[in-house]
Structure formats: structure tokens, C-alpha cells
Amino acid sequence: MQIREYLGAGKPAVILHPSGTVITFDELEARANRLSHYFRRAGLVEGDAVAILMENNEHIHAVMWAARRSGLYYVPINTHLTAAEAAYIIDNSAAKAIIGSAALRKTCENLAEHLSGGLPELLLIADDDLEGWQRYPECVAGEPDTPIDDEREGDLLQYSSGTTGRPKGIKRELPHVPPSEAPGMMSALVSFWMNPDSVYLSPAPLYHTAPSVWSMSAQAGGVTTVVLEKFDAEGCLDAIQRHRVTHGQFVPAMFTRMLKLPEAVRKSYDLSSLQRVMHAAAPCPVEIKKQMMDWWGPIIDEYYASSEAHGSTLITAEEWLTHPGSVGKPMGGAVHILDENGNELPPGQAGEIYFEGGYSFEYLNDPTKTAASRDKHGWATVGDIGYLDEEGYLYLTDRRHHMIISGGVNIYPQEAENLLVTHPKVLDAAVFGVPDDEMGQRVLAAVQTVDPGDATEEFADELLTWLRDRLAHYKCPKSIAFEAQLPRTDTGKLYKNGLIEKYSV
């Protein structure tokens, strides 16, 4: 992917909202080139990894572009993770450099004690001073603003939680060609969907796969990208009106929050510039999508995919109106629904979703999990459950066993469960998702105490505080209930369906 053909006109590549900070294509190109030279001078070579600990700010796109055109893997890290959780990703990816920001200073400060091999030599922090770290972008100010001589296409190395709760690195082989010869994953779709006159809204954190890939693909097509520094329902509407946004990519929880605004507030914004929007990341309740269609018109398309990029489907707004609840048909390749024995199921019967013809990937340092994601044909799955109708439209019925999707974010409960049972007063614990109108699902815990007398509201509050001190808050239960005994089989397997049914009432 390239942005160079859009230089010279002073056109904005990035507009941060609500601060109003603007980075033109010329500035973005120069910043990325300077950092690329700095990477090379520091000894980084094709295939090395750079960890990024940044919020949505004015630097993050330049950092990603610099890594991508230097043949590096860039590893954006969830800004809500604790230092220990972030350090695991840095260790696992073997990152040769870390680039942080002032907003993540505390996390950066505490990384060293959790890294098995210590901090890498190359440490940059944006707009702040931290001992042992170089101040960015000042440290690259003397570098050339022209391209490096040996540009190579790099790639995103995204981390997604595994079934044990540990993040898994999703790695694809580099193409070993210059960026001009390597079309991005989303370039074809973006070029079909948008043009250089479009204005694209990126409302989600850029440490997620889709926001980073979509925003960079939009920029590669000459599209101005409006980036929300933090999602806010009314702020999103203000950004659309203020910047005359034509396109955007959302998750269903954002739709819900915008719909919950007072009608007078919703009607006060001019959204007539919108031409087409896309949503993904989690199943959207049919009623929520209908309400959005009533408000914004039949311009809301949807795709289903994963961080693994093992396959994808697409459904336009017009198709969805005649196939409500569907996530569409495959964009290339084929979808197969298989039973537990690997047999293909007929239309209407739910089974595990496999894609044929998707991108090849591996789970970094986990050949067992990589092998388990393929069947005998080489078709790939991420464990989602769904079915096809007679016309070949895909419908989702479940997601990766007991994975929780809250606000479009994947949460694996095992991590919280493993921590809860280490508390001296806790005998057993189950963490699961229950329906929530705003977030899609809400995280809840059922706990069995060692002493039944400890099953009190006071202890529930104490336990939540204890857990939040040890785990990223978005992974923690919003509330804790108590059970005299949790439903486990004789083999120790926790049966969660009964708990989910009980607490979904």
C-alpha cells in the first residue's frame, strides 16, 4: 500500500476529532519516511517486529506506515492492558522496538519487570520524557524525509485472545516485495466502496485489526480519515456533520449508544453527507439494525471476518432487508458448515464455520493451535458457529464456544476465572456473558465461596476491586453473583449454559 500519489495538494490524510489536529498526506509521508530511516539506522531489518503502545493520536498512523514500508511487523497493543499483559505480547512477538505515548507512560514505565528478556534496545515515547526512552518525534527530526532505499512491505501482527485467555499472535508471511507491488488486504474493497473525494470516519481504537487496516487502506486510496480520539455517541454525530463524513466503519454497540441519545439530539445533527457505512466485529441485533436503517437509510452494509483473515462475507443493506440477520455471502472462496466429525451440513443446520480460499496465517509460537484451525481439506476456522440458507447466505448462531463479545470486543472468561479462584475466599468461579441491550453482552461472574457466610454484597464489591487491580477492566465482570455450588461434570468441565439461562432472565 502507498499514499505517495496524493502528495502536493495539502490534502488532509488524518483529522483527529474532537481536537481538530490535521496531518496532511505530505506530513504523513514525511513522518513515516523519517521513522523508516531511523528504524534502519537502529538495525531493524525485514521481518522484525515493533510494538506500539499508543491511543488514537497524531503519531500512530505514521508509526504504522513507517513499519509497514520498512518490511516490519507492527504490533498494536490494547491500551487497556496491564503492564504484565502488554509485556506478554512484547515477549511473544519478540519485538525489537517499543513505541509508546505519554498517555501510556505508566504502562511503559512498568514493562521492564514483566519482560523475560528485559526491554529491547530501541525505546521511543511520544511527547514525553522517560528514563531510558528516546523522545519521539524529536529523535527522528534529523532523518531524511524521503523513502529508504530498500523499502519492503510489512504487515500487521495482531494479537487476539486464545481459548485459554492468553493473547495469540496472528502472523502472515511477508510478501518480500516493495510496497508498490503488494496490494493491501482491504484495498480492493475500499477502492470499490470509496474514492479520493470520500471522507472516512474511524470511530474505534486503532489497536484493533479492522480500524487500523481500514484506515490505512482508505489513506492508500487518497481518502481523508477522520479518527475519533475516543468514541462518544454524540461526538460521533458531531464528527459526521463537522467533517461531512461520507463513509465509516462501526460496531453494533456504537449503533446502540447513538440510538439511545434523546431524539432531539439525534435530529439536531445533519448526517446527509453519509453515503455508505459498514459494520462488523459482533452480531448486530436485527431490531437495532432496523432502527439504524430507519434513521440513516438503507446505506448500512455488513461484513463478517476475523483478525485471522481466514475468510470473510459481505452483505449490502439492500440484501439484508430481504435476509435480516444474515452476514452475507463470501467475498471470494467458499463457506462450509461442518459437524463435529468434519462432515458438511445441509442448509439450515448449524455447525462450525470453515472458509476455503482465505489468507494463510499461523498462530505465532503455537503450532498446535494453528493445526487445529484447519481441517483435512486445509479449510480454516476460528470456531464460530453458524448456518447457510438455501441461497448461500451465512447466519451466525454462536461465537467461539463461550467467548463473550461486549461492545465489539472479544473477551475470554478463562483469564478472569483463573484469577478469581486464586483468592483465598473463593472455591470456584464461572465467568460468562449475558444479553445487554447496549453492549451486546455483559460480563457476569458466579462465585462459590469457601465459607458460605462470605457470599455477601460487601465481599462481591471487595472481589471486584481485587480483580480489577490484576486484570484489564474490560475483561472483568461487571457484577458478581453467588452460587452454593457451580455446575460441573464429573470430569470437571464447567457447564455454563444453565448459568447463562438463569442470569439472562
Residue 65 lies in a domain: yes
169 and 89 within one domain: yes
**Mean pLDDT on 423-446:** 91
* Listed residue (434, 412, 428) closest to 492, CA to CA: 428
pTM to 2 decimal places: 0.82
Report pLDDT for 106: 97
Report pLDDT for 164: 39
Report pLDDT for 491: 37
Residue 336 lies in a domain: no
**Residue that is last in its domain, among 398, 431, 446:** 398
Report pLDDT for 8: 84
Residue 312 lies in a domain: yes
Report pLDDT for 183: 67
Which CATH number belongs to the domain containing residue 382 in this structure? 3.40.50.12780
Question: Does residue 505 have a pLDDT over 60?
Answer: yes
The residue among 356 and 163 whose pLDDT is bigger is 356
CA 114 to chain centre: 24
Q: What is the total count of domains within the chain?
A: 3
473 and 362 within one domain: no
420 and 450 within one domain: yes
Q: Give every CB contact of residue 356 below 8 A, 6+ residues apart in sequence.
A: 311, 333, 334, 335, 336, 377, 378, 379
With pLDDT > 90 as the criterion, what percentage of the chain qualifies? Answer: 73
Q: Which domain holds residue 47?
A: 24-181
359 and 235 within one domain: yes
Report pLDDT for 166: 76
Q: Where are the alpha helices (DSSP H) in 182-274?
A: 187-193, 209-220, 233-243, 252-259, 263-267
The residue among 283 and 86 whose pLDDT is bigger is 86
353 and 240 within one domain: yes
Residue 314 lies in a domain: yes
Report pLDDT for 226: 99
454 and 350 within one domain: no
pLDDT digits (tens, 9 = 90+) for 320-343: 999 999 999 999 889 999 998 999
pLDDT digits (tens, 9 = 90+) for 158-175: 997 533 357 899 999 999
What band does 400 get if pLDDT is binned at 50, 70 and 90?
low
Strands 313-315 and 329-330: antiparallel
The residue among 414 and 134 whose pLDDT is bigger is 134
Strands 49-53 and 167-171: unpaired
**Mean pLDDT on 350-362:** 90
Report pLDDT for 397: 77
**Residue that is last in its domain, among 374, 398, 422:** 398
Report pLDDT for 489: 53
Report pLDDT for 493: 59
Q: What is the mean pLDDT of the chain?
A: 92
Q: What angle do CA 93, 95, 99 make, to 5 degrees?
A: 125
DSSP string, 172-206: -----S-GGG---TTHHHHHHH--TT-EEEE-S-T
**How many whole angstroms separate alpha carbon 30 and alpha carbon 145?**
5
The residue among 203 and 9 whose pLDDT is bigger is 203
Report pLDDT for 216: 95
pLDDT digits (tens, 9 = 90+) for 284-320: 778 789 999 999 999 999 999 988 888 999 999 999 9
**How many whole angstroms separate alpha carbon 260 and alpha carbon 42?**
50
State phi, psi for 75 to the nearest 5 degrees. -120, 90
**How many whole angstroms separate alpha carbon 14 and alpha carbon 26?**
11
CA 365 to chain centre: 21
**How many whole angstroms separate alpha carbon 23 and alpha carbon 61?**
10
Report pLDDT for 490: 39
Q: Where are the alpha helices (DSSP H) in 377-494?
A: 414-420, 457-468
Which CATH number belongs to the domain containing residue 477 in this structure? 3.30.300.30
Q: Which three cell numbers stand for residue 199?
A: 471522507
Residue 199 lies in a domain: no
358 and 244 within one domain: yes
373 and 466 within one domain: no
97 and 53 within one domain: yes
Which CATH number belongs to the domain containing residue 48 in this structure? 3.40.50.980
**How many whole angstroms separate alpha carbon 189 and alpha carbon 178?**
21
- Residue 123's DSSP bridge partners are 98
Residue 19 lies in a domain: no
64 and 174 within one domain: yes
325 and 281 within one domain: yes
306 and 236 within one domain: yes
Report pLDDT for 162: 39
pLDDT digits (tens, 9 = 90+) for 435-456: 998 999 999 999 999 899 999 9
Residue 359 lies in a domain: yes
* Listed residue (54, 80, 55, 78) closest to 468, CA to CA: 80
Question: Does residue 100 have a pLDDT over 50?
Answer: yes
Residue 198 lies in a domain: no
